[in-house]
Structure 1
Amino acid sequence: MSNFSELSSSLSFTSSSHMSNGSVSHNISNSSAAEAGTSLELLGASFSMSLFRREKGSLEKDGKPKYCMSDLLPYGNVGYEAFLIFLSYLYTGKLKPSPVEVSTCVDNVCAHDACRPAINFAVEMMYASSIFQVPELVSLFQRRLLNFVRKAVVEDVIPILVVAFHCQSSQLIAQCVDRIAVSDLDNISIEKELPHEVAEKIKQIRRKSIPDDENNTEAGDPLREKRIKRIHMALDSDDVELVKLLLTESDISLDDANALHYCASYCDLKVMSEVFCLGLADVNLRNSRGYTVLHIAAMRKEPSLIVSLLAKGASALDLTSDGQSAVNICRRLTRPKDYHAKTEQGQEANKDRLCIDILEREMRRNPLGGSASITSHTMVDDLHMRLLYLENRVAFARLFFPTEAKLAMDIAHAATTSEFCWSCCIKRMEALMKTVETGRRYFPNCSEVLDKFMEDDLPDLFFLEKGTSDEQRIKRTRFMELKEDVQKAFNKDKAESNRSVLSSSSSSSSLKDAVGNKFRKL
């Protein structure tokens, strides 16, 4: 086993997470320890020979080969924790329990017997067991996945069917196909998310199960389905102009095609925004399965999409036919590891946690407004000064809370207006004000931090008002130059610490010194 020991010690992973289940373990079979040891020696030798035969490893400084998991897996994904469990079994012949932080969800009322993280972890173990040819583990996790097929919601059967297809598990494929065929999962999802031959098999079973009279009725509407599919293809191509043309050529509406649902599932935010701008779709429309567009966006776990829908009037209180809200859906898709991941100030926020926080806040939201108003009495009633205030507030928001600031700016379209373009300063100010208002609505904690920071910093800005009009103009011009220098430094040195960024940009004036000192206080 010496070769295998060296191999496992040199594999590299991007994740730094660790299992939290201690040393608890279970025997996977009743075979004797001697038999298990012999079997594992053979497994280790076979595994190592197959791996080294690839000759793709790069050498580290100590001369040991380094392998990336993506190079070892022809299909699927095996996470860090799943691979540790797999290696532990190869070493000991005992299978440790699945780590709670990656095999359960953060929904407090979930039994975790068929939630998505539990399924995903079993799928990862199935991939590892099959690709590295450990038949007893393949058999074990096939049985677990078969149990999931009977309990899980139909959307969560899809990853099980995909792993069964790749691992050529005929029994598991048959069970998944039968479950999906009799479900209400739409053909679009089946075609988009499953291998072609499997999707065709499911549709064939569905056609055979429909009585002749109903079959004839459905066969009389192929033109409608064709037109809907053409709209979806146009959305896939990001061609909203073609969508408009297709709508004028037929009696199919965006709601008939469930266009917003389709965008929420498969398109980017830009396409969704352009479809919104057409003003022809109902943001709270339910599809044939009773899902609103927000429910679909929650399944995708994309914060920018969720915020965009809420800004357009989507209701976070709407429930699915089985009583799930959008935040419940998000929680059942999110692992504790991701939800409780620590994020330092200035780092990208975790998207899983962000989605849940946004939806929970929306469900208990009060009318817009905050204790700190943008037009505070401490600010002079001057367009120029208000614009300077907003520019700086948004700039610091981008530094302190990059993910949240980007979401707020996307919703307000602040990135499309020019910074300090005086010919359009009114439009710029409106966009920045909307950015701040969006931040107050969806990220109140971040806004409180910015409120305090800006309040403490306001005395430093009042020097811009002092002196004659010519002196004020010169000071404001210099202030803008300094602000631009700071912003350039932010964009250039995002990888460095916040203190280093402001310290390096604070030596040219007393104003910059004040800003730098403010950061050191934080």
Structure 2
Amino acid sequence: MAQSAEPSSSLSFTSSSYLSNGSVSHNICSSYGSDPGPNLEVISLSKLSSSLEHLLVDSDSSYSDADIIIEGTPVGVHRCILASRSKFFSELFKGDKGSSDKGGKLKYQMSDLLPFGKVGHEAFLVVLGYIYTGKPRPSPMEVSTCVDNVCAHDACRPAINFAVELMYASFIFQIPELVSLFQRRLLNFVGKALVEDVIPILIVAFHCQLNQLVIQCIDRVARSDLDHVSIEKELPLELLQKIKLLHHNSQNDAENNASTDDTLDPLRQKRISRIHKALDSDDVELVKLLLTESDITLDEANALHYAVAYCDPKVVSEVLGLGLADVNLRNSRGYTVLHIAAMRKEPSIIVSLLTKGACASELTFDGQSAVSICRRLTRPKDYHAKTEQLKETNKDRICIDVLEREMRRNPMAGDVSISSHTMADDLHMKLLYLENRVAFARLFFPTEAKLAMDIAHAETTSEFAGLTASKGSSGNFREVDLNETPIMQNRRLLSRMEALMKTVEMGRRYFPHCSEVLDKFMEDDLPDLFYLEKGTQEEQRIKRIRFVELKDDVQKAFNKDKAEFTRSGISSSSSSSSLKDTVNYKARRL
């Protein structure tokens, strides 16, 4: 900008009133007979920051020339601004590696820009906001806090994970001032967080070459009671060796004697490791063989803890099926198997453990229950996420709901038998009722129904079995196999009924709101449909037509009202009243 000692007009004053050191000329201001007032450079920079921010937040006038796709959502950016503020983006745009759409606008996938780690949509917007404005933004509450009402959010997992994402982005995009800022924030977490929550901090510090942070994290992990299996699973070899070295040097400390007992018996540790490797290979039969060949039990190997933390839910179910593990066993850190399942947040595993007798009220040594653990791991964004009708419900919400209901459930309330007055006493009518109930559950609440059926080991049931039964369709329970004796047929039907009843039991226990909808629907709208083959031929024909119409009308009702349900924030696990009214209304129209 050109300098002028003595402007000849007010326009000249506004465009050339700065001296080389950035201050306003005292003589110029005096010539106008006014006080210099606030620093014009600060004002100008503030206005520039606001103008650039407007480009970022106003999609109608953004004039962006590139999109960065993150979590499926395009974020419009201006390459000239990013290139001038970040060496990373300068080199990226020089290479012109993005794909272009029909309009010539370049597109870049965030996953392609990151050599390691993950950066979510909200974290990217925070970093992008700083690039544009030079001002750090506060972290959005919906992704940087948990849903535990008593948590201070100063070291819960969502707060740590969001800071880790910010650090990844700042380092990759080469913004050193943000790296310094977030390093201080992560250092503050290390002393407050649970040791397992220090692991992601250590990983990001390692990749971002933050030596001070790495040293602090290694020291915290090495001096903690975190088991060596978890450390080996989570950390790269280089960090693992440093932790082992520091841990070895501190073995003489009395406080660490208990945690090093297992390492004193290499043969015992080797046998336990073999059991864990067999679980990693999904080979439960090999686990059984290893148990017979040694004196190590599943509980001594913490095999159920291990399977719940790292293995497929099917493997967990198979291990539980062995009946050799204590579902309420605590590991050396005081965590029960259900506590570990709450950390993983897999609904099917949590329900499997509860059905096998896991106690939801057990507390960790620091007073946390399984549901409070789950809450401290869950972001408000995920917990309050709206779910469209007939779509899968958010797993985070299901885990918390299931555990909370288990905590409230009366332990003596074990009678969950079917009591509907519409159900006839004979076996076929009971099966017809159950088949239809489970079929409608699969239509109305697909995630909850699938979970209940998986736990009950019920095979997939065809929708609206009552209608197909009357038609004699293939695979129906009314069909007669000439090679099947009456005793064999009864056993088959009783086995099927037991699986279906257990499915309904699981639904009543863990999804009471969904069950309430189905109870009302089955009693109010379908009483006559259980007698499809009774009455005159004309009456039977009318009932079958009504059944088909009801099926179609229910589907249309959900499609038509989907937008209304979404606006009202009703999820598939908590939509009993509105769903009930809609179904009843549509059914009565027939």
User: Please, what TM-score do these two structures have when normalized by structure 1?
Assistant: 0.83
- Where 1:304 maps in the other structure, the secondary structure is helix
Per the alignment, residue 372 of structure 2 pairs with 328
The question of 1:351 aligning with 2:395 is answered yes
Per the alignment, residue 14 of structure 1 pairs with 71
Contact 1:368/1:441, CA 8 A, preserved across alignment: no
Q: CA deviation at 1:375?
A: 3.9
Per the alignment, residue 258 of structure 1 pairs with 302
The question of 1:426 aligning with 2:498 is answered no
Per the alignment, residue 79 of structure 1 pairs with 120
Structure 1 residues 194-233: Cα deviation after superposition (integer angstroms, max 9, x where no partner): 1111112111211121129969976641000000000000
Contact 1:10/1:67, CA 8 A, preserved across alignment: yes
Contact 2:525/2:587, CA 8 A, preserved across alignment: no
Q: In the superposition, relative to structure 1, how do residues 198 and 383 fare at CA in structure 2: closer, same or farther (>3 Å)?
A: same
Contact 1:499/1:520, CA 8 A, preserved across alignment: no
Higher mean C-alpha deviation, range 214-223 or range 157-166: 214-223
Amino acid in structure 2 at the alignment position of 1:256: E
- Where 1:415 maps in the other structure, the secondary structure is coil
Alignment of 1:102-251 (within 5 A): 102-211=143-252, 220-251=264-295
Unaligned segments of structure 1, at least 5 residues: 19-38, 502-514
Q: CA deviation at 1:143?
A: 0.7
Per the alignment, residue 413 of structure 1 pairs with 457
Contact 2:342/2:399, CA 8 A, preserved across alignment: yes
Distance in 2 (alpha carbons) for counterparts of 1:219 and 1:83? 44
Q: CA deviation at 1:98?
A: 0.4
Distance in 1 (alpha carbons) for counterparts of 2:448 and 2:216? 43
Contact 1:57/1:66, CA 8 A, preserved across alignment: yes
Q: CA deviation at 1:63?
A: 2.1
What number of residue pairs does the alignment pair up?
481
Q: In the superposition, relative to structure 1, how do residues 180 and 196 fare at CA in structure 2: closer, same or farther (>3 Å)?
A: same
Amino acid in structure 2 at the alignment position of 1:364: R
Q: Could you say what the CA RMSD is over the residues aligned between the two structures, in angstroms?
A: 3.7
Per the alignment, residue 510 of structure 1 pairs with none
The question of 1:58 aligning with 2:99 is answered yes
Q: 2:529 aligns with which of 461, 474, 494?
A: 461
Amino acid in structure 1 at the alignment position of 2:123: A
Q: CA deviation at 1:175?
A: 0.7
Per the alignment, residue 7 of structure 2 pairs with none
Q: CA deviation at 1:15?
A: 6.0
Q: In the superposition, relative to structure 1, how do residues 233 and 43 fare at CA in structure 2: closer, same or farther (>3 Å)?
A: farther
Q: 1:366 aligns with which of 406, 410, 420?
A: 410
Q: 1:448 aligns with which of 513, 516, 519?
A: 516
Contact 2:557/2:586, CA 8 A, preserved across alignment: no
Structure 1 residues 141-174: Cα deviation after superposition (integer angstroms, max 9, x where no partner): 0110011001100010011011111112111111
Contact 1:269/1:304, CA 8 A, preserved across alignment: yes
Unaligned segments of structure 2, at least 5 residues: 1-51, 57-61, 463-474, 479-488, 562-582
Distance in 1 (alpha carbons) for counterparts of 2:217 and 2:434? 54
Amino acid in structure 2 at the alignment position of 1:14: E
Contact 1:78/1:128, CA 8 A, preserved across alignment: yes
Per the alignment, residue 110 of structure 2 pairs with 69
Higher mean C-alpha deviation, range 341-350 or range 77-86: 341-350
Contact 2:339/2:369, CA 8 A, preserved across alignment: yes
Q: CA deviation at 1:302?
A: 0.8
Higher mean C-alpha deviation, range 48-57 or range 377-386: 48-57
Contact 1:235/1:243, CA 8 A, preserved across alignment: yes
Amino acid in structure 1 at the alignment position of 2:347: P
User: Please, what TM-score do these two structures have when normalized by structure 2?
Assistant: 0.74
Q: CA deviation at 1:482?
A: 6.6
Q: In the superposition, relative to structure 1, how do residues 89 and 455 fare at CA in structure 2: closer, same or farther (>3 Å)?
A: same
Q: CA deviation at 1:478?
A: 7.4
- Where 2:108 maps in the other structure, the secondary structure is strand
